[in-house]
Amino acid sequence: MFTIPEIRSDGEARKRMKAFGRKIARYVADTQGKAEFYWNVWCKDVAEFYGMTADEISALHLTSIVPKSQRGRQFTVPIVVGEIPF
């Protein structure tokens, strides 16, 4: 079983801006409250293609977000088919 990593945020100050509120409103209108459904469908579809589970794809996606402190640095991650590299 995998653990869900800590989720990164660009900071609370940006979330108090009017533009952020408009972005959220557009997202909610576009997904009509079905974001979790769409996420699950996408993870399942990708998982079938790569021979993984939807939970593994979801975890891999979350852990692939590079923290701000590491952006711009070059590093390599060995990729092994069927294995989450983190």
Whether 8 and 67 have beta carbons less than 8 Å apart is answered as: yes
Q: In this structure, what DSSP letter does residue 4 have?
A: P
Mean pLDDT of the chain: 75
Whole-number pLDDT of residue 44? 94
d(CA 32, CA 16) in angstroms, rounded, equals 23
Two tokens, residue 71: 């952006």
**Which amino acid appears at position 6 of this protein?**
E
Residues 6+ apart with CB under 8 A from 67: 8
- Exposure string of 28-39, with b = 16+ CB inside 10 Å and e = fewer, is eeeeeeeeeeee
Q: What average pLDDT does the segment 52-72 reach? A: 78
Question: Does 20 have pLDDT greater than 90?
Answer: no
List the chain domain ranges: 34-86
